[in-house]
């Protein structure tokens, strides 16, 4: 199939990067085997672990990508953070965990991760949360790496194009997990991914991968019809056989206990969409915008909640299509999603 996709894969489908467990090397390999393009998620990983995964993926001899979080620490209100820590004390006590108060910067090992990508280039890199320096984009491109930038608004798209990226990942507000917004304080209005894809398509002819809110083959068709060259699937791969998501999380998506998703800062201090549970209900309105300080603050609590299977206090990231997430081999899920494409 010829296209303007960065890689001429058989299917216009991409496995969206999902940090925190789901994006295993097995998932990315299965996506490649099914004719799509898979992304590894380097976020939250040590550089050593990232390097191991890249070595594994290089051994396949097929295109793949890796996603990084770009440091985007914003000034935040210390008092609000203190107040939020106090508010979470009862939750922590119920879990037998601490509220870890750890303000300050945390760049997720940015420099070491970039050094790995410059020393041993990979086929594709995507960036989320902010735009890296244009000099870095040029350096990566000079090494033969296709550089993609995740954008959520027209202004972000314009800035990314101006900085010289090869392709855009256009994330709509119905996406599961963190919004890739560069402005985490902003309100995130609801609309279908196809709408923002069409607006950004009007700006540029570079390849666009649309992502967010896919609930079946009809949404994939709509996003493609709006001008995308590919569609990235997140939540609908969380229950794939090759996913590394924990059984508690996989089951929660389809248990019927959760009927909707919400965008919340309650777990990490940055807007993210997840199954609407008690923790979001109790704290969503009070959480300050302070990433990664809130992420680190709640991390011991979330670890305890995973261990004890406490879905009322877990961050269960999910896009609006979550109820359609099937437990099936990745190839079967992707072929089903491509089934209404012309
Ligand atoms: C569990 C989970 C983890 C995610 N981790 C990342 C990540 O590491 N980097 C990133 O750019 N986006 C991440 N996302 C967002 C996805 O890449 C993608 O934009 C989103 O899943 C698409 O929406 P959908 O879930 O409705 O398909 C994550 C999403 C989920 C559900």
Domains of the chain: 1-71+107-241+326-342 (3.20.20.70), 74-106+259-315 (no CATH)
Residue 70 CA, ligand 1 centroid: distance in Å: 15
For the Cβ of 213 lying below 6 angstroms from any atom of ligand 1, the answer is: yes
For the Cβ of 192 lying below 6 angstroms from any atom of ligand 1, the answer is: no
For the Cβ of 230 lying below 6 angstroms from any atom of ligand 1, the answer is: no
Could you count the other beta carbons within 10 Å of the beta carbon of residue 103? 16
d(CA 171, CA 116): 26
The whole-number pLDDT of residue 262 equals: 98
pLDDT band per the 50, 70, 90 thresholds, residue 3? very low
The whole-number pLDDT of residue 103 equals: 65
For the Cβ of 292 lying below 6 angstroms from any atom of ligand 1, the answer is: no
Residue 272 CA, ligand 1 centroid: distance in Å: 9
d(CA 286, CA 83): 9
Mean pLDDT over 82-106 rounds to 89
Mean pLDDT over 25-52 rounds to 97
Mean pLDDT over 276-280 rounds to 98
Crossing angle of the two packed helices 193-201 and 217-225, in degrees rounded to 10: 20
Mean pLDDT over 298-310 rounds to 95
pLDDT band per the 50, 70, 90 thresholds, residue 73? confident
**pLDDT above 90 covers what percent of the chain?**
94
Is the per-residue pLDDT at 117 higher than 70? yes
Residue 179 CA, ligand 1 centroid: distance in Å: 8
Number of the ligand 1 atom closest to the C-alpha atom of 16: 17
pLDDT band per the 50, 70, 90 thresholds, residue 182? very high
- The residue whose C-alpha atom lies closest to atom 3 belonging to ligand 1 is 18
DSSP 53-116: HHHHHHTTTS--EEEEEPP------HHHHHHHHHHTHHHHHHHT-------S---TTHHHHHHH
- Which carries the bigger pLDDT value, residue 4 or residue 336? 336
Q: Where are the beta strands (DSSP E) in the chain?
A: 13-15, 37-41, 65-69, 124-128, 146-151, 167-171, 177-178, 208-211, 230-233, 261-264, 272-275
How many residues does this entry show for the chain? 342
For the Cβ of 50 lying below 6 angstroms from any atom of ligand 1, the answer is: no
Is the per-residue pLDDT at 66 higher than 80? yes
The whole-number pLDDT of residue 2 equals: 36
For the Cβ of 65 lying below 6 angstroms from any atom of ligand 1, the answer is: no
Degrees (nearest 5) of the Cα angle 55, 244, 215?
115
pLDDT band per the 50, 70, 90 thresholds, residue 208? very high
Mean pLDDT over 187-213 rounds to 97
The whole-number pLDDT of residue 74 equals: 83
d(CA 162, CA 138): 12
Is the per-residue pLDDT at 1 higher than 60? no
Residue 286 CA, ligand 1 centroid: distance in Å: 24
Average pLDDT value over all residues in the chain: 96
Is the per-residue pLDDT at 282 higher than 90? yes
- The residue whose C-alpha atom lies closest to atom 29 belonging to ligand 1 is 177
The whole-number pLDDT of residue 121 equals: 96
Mean pLDDT over 94-109 rounds to 85
Three-state DSSP class for 247?
A: helix
Mean pLDDT over 261-289 rounds to 97
Residue 93 CA, ligand 1 centroid: distance in Å: 30
For the Cβ of 288 lying below 6 angstroms from any atom of ligand 1, the answer is: no
The whole-number pLDDT of residue 104 equals: 67
209 forms beta bridges with 169, 230
Number of the ligand 1 atom closest to the C-alpha atom of 22: 1
Pocket test for ligand 1, best of 108, 176, 184, 315 (most atoms within 8 A of CB): 176
Pocket test for ligand 1, best of 214, 234, 246, 267 (most atoms within 8 A of CB): 234
């Amino acid at each position: 199939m010829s296209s303007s996709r960065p890689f001429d894969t058989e299917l216009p489908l991409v496995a969206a990067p999902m940090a925190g467990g789901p994006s295993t090397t097995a998932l990315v390999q299965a996506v490649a085997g099914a004719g799509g393009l898979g992304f590894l998620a380097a976020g939250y990983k040590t550089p050593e672990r990232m390097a191991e995964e890249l070595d594994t993926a290089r051994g396949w001899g097929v295109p793949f990508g890796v996603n990084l979080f770009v440091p985007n620490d914003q000034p935040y209100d210390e008092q609000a953070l203190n107040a939020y820590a106090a508010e979470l004390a009862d939750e922590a006590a119920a879990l037998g965990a601490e509220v870890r108060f750890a303000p300050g910067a945390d760049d997720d090992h940015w420099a070491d991760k970039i050094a790995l990508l410059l020393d041993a280039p990979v086929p594709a890199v995507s960036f989320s949360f902010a735009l890296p320096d244009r000099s870095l984009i040029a350096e990566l491109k000079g090494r033969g790496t296709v550089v993609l930038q995740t954008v959520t608004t027209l202004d972000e798209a314009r800035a990314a194009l101006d900085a010289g990226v090869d392709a855009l990942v256009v994330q709509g507000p119905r996406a599961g997990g963190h919004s890739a917004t560069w402005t985490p304080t902003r309100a995130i209005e609801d609309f279908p991914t196809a709408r923002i894809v069409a607006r950004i398509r009007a700006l540029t002819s570079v390849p666009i991968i649309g992502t967010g809110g896919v609930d079946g083959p009809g949404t994939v068709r709509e996003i493609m019809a709006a001008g995308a060259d590919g569609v990235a699937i997140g939540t609908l791969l969380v229950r794939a056989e090759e996913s590394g998501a924990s059984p508690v999380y996989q089951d929660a998506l389809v248990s019927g206990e959760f009927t909707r998703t919400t965008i919340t800062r309650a777990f990490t201090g940055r807007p993210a969409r997840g199954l609407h549970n008690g923790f979001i209900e109790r704290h969503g309105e009070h959480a300050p915008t302070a990433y990664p300080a809130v992420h680190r603050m709640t991390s011991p609590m979330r670890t305890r909640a995973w261990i004890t299977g406490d879905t009322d206090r877990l961050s269960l990231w999910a896009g609006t299509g979550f109820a359609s997430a099937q437990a099936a081999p990745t190839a079967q899920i992707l072929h089903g999603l491509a089934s209404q494409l012309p």
